Amino acid sequence: MNLTRFGGKEALFSVKCLIAAFLAYYIALRIGLTRPYWAVTTSYIVAQPLAGAVLSKAVFRVAGTVLGAAAAVVLVPNLVNAPELLSLGLALWLGLCLYISLLDRTPRAYLFLLAGYTASIIGFPSVTTPGAVFTIAALRVQEITIGILCGSLIHGFVFPQTVTATLLARIDAILA
């Protein structure tokens, strides 16, 4: 394995990812969230080498998570007495969100994809305890948002790498 091919930018990116994950985990544990691993996972999911890409992905991830949580809160209490209908409702929601995300050829498609599977992640476990669906949804949104904020904060403000600098470096390399 050739470790010399990795440079300072890659090492810095890796360290920033680790710091964001540690920060997310610390905050999630400190405020007593039940599933702090979602915050850690999310801090890695939103990680991008370019600061602007991190912020873009973060906005769409928060919006998709909130939309999916709201869908679960609407569907579960209304269909909990008919598990087959609840499964069908969640499947239709997931299918609709997937369809819209495939039609939308912009980064916004990520929002719809998240909305689809977040409703399922919240909805299916809530079948056994439908009274706790709002709590489960609120905790999920908090866990995801903490990871997003930590990832965005670290990647956006600690030695951020901009598109302009990257583009200029590539142009210089081509012209050299």
pLDDT digits (tens, 9 = 90+) for 41-52: 999 999 988 888
Q: Where are the domains of the chain?
A: 9-161
pLDDT at residue 169, as a whole number: 81
pLDDT at residue 101, as a whole number: 95
Q: What is the pLDDT of residues 1-36, one digit of tens each?
A: 555 566 788 889 999 999 999 999 999 999 999 999
pLDDT above 60 for 74: yes
Neighbours of 80 (CB within 10 A): 18
Q: Where does the chain have alpha helices with state H?
A: 8-30, 37-45, 51-79, 83-103, 109-123, 133-157, 163-175
Q: Is 136 helix (H, G, I), strand (E, B) or coil?
A: helix
Neighbours of 39 (CB within 10 A): 29
Half-sphere exposure of 16 (CA within 13 A, CB side): 25
pLDDT at residue 6, as a whole number: 67
